[in-house]
Amino acid sequence: MALSRGAWIGIIAGALGALVGVGTGVWVWLALPQAGARGRLSVRMDSRGPYVILASKAAAEKYGDAIAEAGALHPQAARLTFSPEDLPSLQADLRRPRRVMLSCSYFLRNWTSTSPGDGCA
């Protein structure tokens, strides 16, 4: 079956468009400078305060032991329990600059299931 003149024009226009798109992508990839490695990331624990241990109600019930450990590490920390449905109620308690330890059940579930052999140091 022979293609009409309009079909050929569509095929050629589509192929040229694809070539322009791929060519532009390759040109941008090659033209932009690549960022080199900058060495190891230096991370340290900030021991300055004041701290607040912030836990959702579900996390406070389910992961009370882990939150108690965080409290033992930071005995001066204020402890706040919140409802994820009522986040504006936290505004007054978090107005002062503080370092926050946030305990949501999703985070704690994943944190407690990892071990130093899994990549956590």
Parent domain of 68: 51-116
DSSP 3-state of 55: strand
Q: Which pLDDT value is given to residue 114?
A: 46
Q: Which tokens hold the place of 18?
A: 């694809």
Q: What are phi and psi of 59, to 5 degrees?
A: -70, -40
Instruction: Answer whether residue 9 is part of any domain.
Output: no
User: Following DSSP, what letter does each residue of 75-106 receive, concatenated?
Assistant: TT-EEEEE-GGGGGGGTTTTSS--EEEEE-HH
Q: Which pLDDT value is given to residue 57?
A: 85
Number of domains in the chain: 1
Query: What is the residue type of 108?
Result: L
- The alpha-helical segments, DSSP class H, found in 3-99 are 5-31, 57-62, 64-73
Task: Tell me which residues of the chain have a pLDDT lower than 70.
Answer: 1, 41, 43-49, 96-121
Instruction: Answer whether residue 46 is part of any domain.
Output: no
